[in-house]
């Protein structure tokens, strides 16, 4: 008799482009390739980025509605979905779905994994902390994407250290093999700015335009850099339909950077865009494990990132990249200028960055860790 394949249901609240959503997409693709049946349910519209991306590779998605905190109708619909589709494991992501997923898994007696990707929202109110503490203590496995986030969860929720497991985010480094060796012939919105490489240097950052990404620090540092490099161009890649975007655009004008900064919006061609850059910068105020940094490192780019959260675990300072004190525009500018003056050092850091990701932050490593959790008995 042929054994029925394992069914894993991923749950995530948001379905727009972002780091956690990309992790879900990559995990679903990898689990499908391994003979596991992945399903995905979200609280957002089916027309959003993640359901579309999953549909393109033949992975079924479901849209659920959450009317208010701990919605019994949502719990009932989620439990029905799990029973109807004979789900073996629930893998949820971020606060809301981690709580709902753990409730349903506990009621139905099936294993579940919760993954926390960042700080902030879940820990801002006492009732959320109570709900999250319950989820940590009742989930089969509760995962943090960095050691820093694990420490934060333990401190905020007063849970035992053994209750939280660290699984680093990972990426498919093979995607960046060819991109690192060639410059794409044309990339919409960029090629015309860099034709003949008359603009130099080109410095980039990837991340949606939210306050936590620290872009005002990058803009302040840019003012200093263009004093030495008057043709410098800064490319910011990430979702621009945010409340913070208008403020950033006004800052560009106020600081006299209109000819030096381009907000490119969300792009599907990040791999190609990275090959245009001379430096990659991430000035975040808080971070789990940034996929954008891993992407840049895989592209053999020298990276300069803020000394916060999981950044410190990804980038070994002065070995596979540079760290700077968070919110310190002067330090960021100095480090950018230093690397721009030293092409040999840029290449050295870029090569080391690539090896660092392949060794520790590959998608194979991430998937292997999660696969072992899917089959590990309840704690």
H helices of 161-209, in order, are 191-194
Q: Are 224 and 330 in contact (CB under 8 A)?
A: yes
Give the strands of the sheet with 322-324, arranged side by side.
261-265, 233-237, 202-206, 279-282, 303-306, 322-324
Identical fold for domains 7-170+362-374 and 173-360, yes or no, is yes
Element (H, E) at 218: helix 215-228
As beta bridge partners, residue 38 has 8
pLDDT of residue 271: 87
Q: Give the global pTM.
A: 0.87
CA angle 172–191–188, rounded 5-degree value = 70
Alpha-carbon span 212 to 249, nearest angstrom:
16
CA 98, 100, 106, 112 dihedral sign is negative
The pLDDT averaged over each successive group of 10 residues in the chain (379 residues) is 82 86 92 94 77 92 85 94 96 95 96 92 84 96 96 95 95 75 52 62 94 96 97 93 92 95 90 90 93 95 96 96 97 98 97 95 94 78
pLDDT of residue 70: 80
Alpha-carbon span 286 to 17, nearest angstrom:
18
The CATH homologous superfamily of the domain defined by 173-360: Glycogen Phosphorylase B; (3.40.50.2000)
Q: Are 82 and 54 in contact (CB under 8 A)?
A: no
Question: CATH class for domain 7-170+362-374?
Answer: alpha beta
Q: Are 273 and 187 in contact (CB under 8 A)?
A: yes
pLDDT of residue 185: 46
Residue-range domain boundaries for the chain: 7-170+362-374, 173-360
Q: Tokens representing 122?
A: 């879940």
pLDDT of residue 350: 96
Which residues are CB-neighbours of 346 under 8 A, at least 6 positions away? Answer: 278, 279, 302, 339, 340
Give the strands of the sheet with 164-166, arranged side by side.
61-63, 37-42, 7-12, 89-93, 112-116, 141-144, 164-166
Q: Are 277 and 247 in contact (CB under 8 A)?
A: no
DSSP helix/strand/coil, 168:
coil
pLDDT of residue 195: 59
Judged on CB neighbours under 10 Å (0-12, 13-18, 19+), 178 is exposed
Burial 242-275 (b: 16+ CB within 10 A, else e): eebbeebeeebeebebeebbbbbebbeebbbbbb
Q: What are phi and psi of 327, to 5 degrees?
A: 70, 15
């Amino acid at each position: 008799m042929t054994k029925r394949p394992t069914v894993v249901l991923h749950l995530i609240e948001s379905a727009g482009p972002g780091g956690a959503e990309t992790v879900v997409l990559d995990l679903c693709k990898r689990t499908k390739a391994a003979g596991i049946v992945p399903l995905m349910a979200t609280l957002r519209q089916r027309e959003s980025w993640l359901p579309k991306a999953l549909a393109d590779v033949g992975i079924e998605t479901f849209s659920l509605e959450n009317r208010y905190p701990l919605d019994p109708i949502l719990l009932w619909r989620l439990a029905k979905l799990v029973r109807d589709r004979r789900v073996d494991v629930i893998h949820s992501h971020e606060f809301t779905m981690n709580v709902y997923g753990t409730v349903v898994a506990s009621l139905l007696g099936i294993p579940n994994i919760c993954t926390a990707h960042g700080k902030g929202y879940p820990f801002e109110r006492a009732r959320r902390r109570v709900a999250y503490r319950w989820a940590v203590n009742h989930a089969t496995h509760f995962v943090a994407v960095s050691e820093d986030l694990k420490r934060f969860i333990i401190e905020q929720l007063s849970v035992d250290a053994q209750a939280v497991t660290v699984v680093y985010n990972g990426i498919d480094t093979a995607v960046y093999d060819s991109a690192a060796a060639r410059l794409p012939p044309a990339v919409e919105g960029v090629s015309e700015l860099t034709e003949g490489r008359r603009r130099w240097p080109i410095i980039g950052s990837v991340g949606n335009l939210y306050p936590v990404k620290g872009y005002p620090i990058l803009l302040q540092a840019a003012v200093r850099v263009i004093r030495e490099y008057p043709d410098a161009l800064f490319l910011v890649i990430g979702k621009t339909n945010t409340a913070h975007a208008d403020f950033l655009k006004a800052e560009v004008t106020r600081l006299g950077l209109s000819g030096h900064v381009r907000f490119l919006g969300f792009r599907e061609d990040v791999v190609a865009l990275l090959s245009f850059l001379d430096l990659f910068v991430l000035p975040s105020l808080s971070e789990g494990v940034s996929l954008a940094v891993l992407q840049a490192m895989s592209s053999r780019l020298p990276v300069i990132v803020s000394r916060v959260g999981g950044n410190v675990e990804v980038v070994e300072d002065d070995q596979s990249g540079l760290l700077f004190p968070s919110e310190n525009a002067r330090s960021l500018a100095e480090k950018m200028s230093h690397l721009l003056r030293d092409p040999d050092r840029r290449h050295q850091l870029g090569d080391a960055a690539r090896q660092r990701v392949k060794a520790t932050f590959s998608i194979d490593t991430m998937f292997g860790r999660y696969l072992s959790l899917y089959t590990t008995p309840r704690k």
